[in-house]
Structure 1
Amino acid sequence: EAVNNLDWTRNLSIIDFLRDVGKHFTINYMLAKESVKGRINREETGISYTEFSYMILQAYDFRHLSGTRGCTLQIGGGDQFGNITAGLELIRRTRPSPAYALTFPLITTASGAKFGKSEKGAIFLDPSLTSPYAFYQYWFNTDDRDVVNYLKYFTLLDQETIDGLAIERDDNPHLRQAQKRLALEVTTMIHGETETRKVLDASQALFGAGDLAAADPATLRAALEAAPTRVYPSLDQIPPLPRLLADLGLCPSNSQARKDLKAGAISINGQRVTAEDHAYSPGELLGGRILLVRKGKKNYGVVTLG
């Protein structure tokens, strides 16, 4: 059952909170918690009163759920140990009843960063927040130092398979076989085989020898989310190719764009184009509305109609 703590804190006044809850916590008790110590010692910012009092609020939530829902166990990451045990203390002092705490070590990267939603570049399970393509790429880009641990944490692969991938990582790190398997397993688990296949097809089409026309247009757009994009109402509104290349930032100028065209460095939807006066046709559009313009092997621009 999911509940919202606003339901029981909305009408709680600060006076009532301090009198009925705050009195059970001494400053010394709170300062002894690692979560508080770490914040107090932060240079310049220190710890705000809001952060300092959060421990008591979380303890109050545990006590409330203990009394109204019969909740006896609070689970959290190791960084929540102080807040969770504060709840045990509040229950012990005000409403003696069975209450327990269970914490898990935080998952951290090899660089020491916490694996969590507050970190830069965090991913979400909801495809509207993190596309399946971005989700796959997140796992594929895992550091060599982290990938074996992640295979153990986030997949259901057996130990023998993981050991084999660890050996492959050590012998041929450039092939990134462990990362590929991690990304495949986790993306399939969360988004299903169909979406994962779309991701693989789009990756192959963009950066391998796959067929762009056969790739899913929505997945291609997600894959090129960071690529420069231009939107035009119709085909005849798209500027001449040299100017388009400059507008997309693929070439620094129209003259350089002409040189790149002559050199065979430009392609549209995977087909090499050398003519400056290239005529865009409906048959080139992916999904009826997308042109992928590429310079070299990996520099893409996206043209969308609509």
Structure 2
Amino acid sequence: MKKIYFIILVGILTTCSDDEKAIEVVTEEIERGAVLRNITRIQNNFEAGDLTSAFAVEIEEQDEEDGALLDFVRVYTKYIDRDVSNGNDTSPEIILKDIEASSFTTGPVGLPRHTLNVSYEETVTSHNLDLNAIQPGDQFEVRLEVFLTDGRSYSNDSGSASILTDFCFFKSPYRYVINVIEPIPDADFTGTYFYEIISDQDDTGVNAEGFITINSTSMSNVRYMPLYTDALEFTIAGTSIYPKIYGSYNGFCRDSTFHILTGPSDTSFGQVNLIDDTVFDMTIVIGYEGWDGQLGNNVREFTYRFTKQ
């Protein structure tokens, strides 16, 4: 996949947490491009069988004219069948809807903001899916593309690592994964665990074992732990575990060419026993989608085992 580094990255981030300073530099120094900044992730996942459940995120559009170039945002979705034992019902990406600039409101820093809601019902209907065939552990993807009034458009394939990850200021992934879950108790899969790498991959430069605290979040089945520079977030969906896409391994926000991202494997998913949280496995890719700091030459995949203490 071709990666295009936005000129807006040059010299922008003095810190990753100082919103006001970063906003000032964005409005003064953007030469081209646009981002859809993730302000608040309100709800991550769909609950199995509950058509009223929804994915929701507040986004903020930034461009070189302080949002004046925004035309519309296109929302794409696709369905991924993760249990193909009875056939593969995965459906290709479709256009779900467009959000016109007029649907955005002016946010606290003068840039356009919008709360995007994607309901389980509209995705099931749009993809013409049988609700009963969708199982916990299956996934939907939401991808956003921002269109500008001058004809340009941007999505995840035109972003840099420091733009895609939530760890840095822009946190504009454009692409979100929605897991189909059955809620589990908040206390499950939390507490102190001993972790160790059990895969055969070279673990040079990666902590192969240690103790770590896993915490719950305000969202059902979502957990996080300080395994890398960014707190690694993962979701328990059915009997599978999915790390969040575009996590930050080394936190190099100032120079995206050396930024390493983490995410899930395409084929190997960690497994859990939902009635026993004492031991579980999780597979993590370091260098997700080729963002390994070495132009795709050092993508590594590790399977960790976590044992409750």
TM-score range, shorter chain: under 0.3
Whose helix fraction is larger, Structure 1's or Structure 2's?
1
TM-score when normalising by structure 1: 0.21
Q: Higher relative CO (CA 8 A, sep ≥ 6), structure 1 or 2?
A: 2
Whose strand fraction is larger, Structure 1's or Structure 2's?
2
Report which of the two structures shows the higher radius of gyration computed on alpha carbons: 1
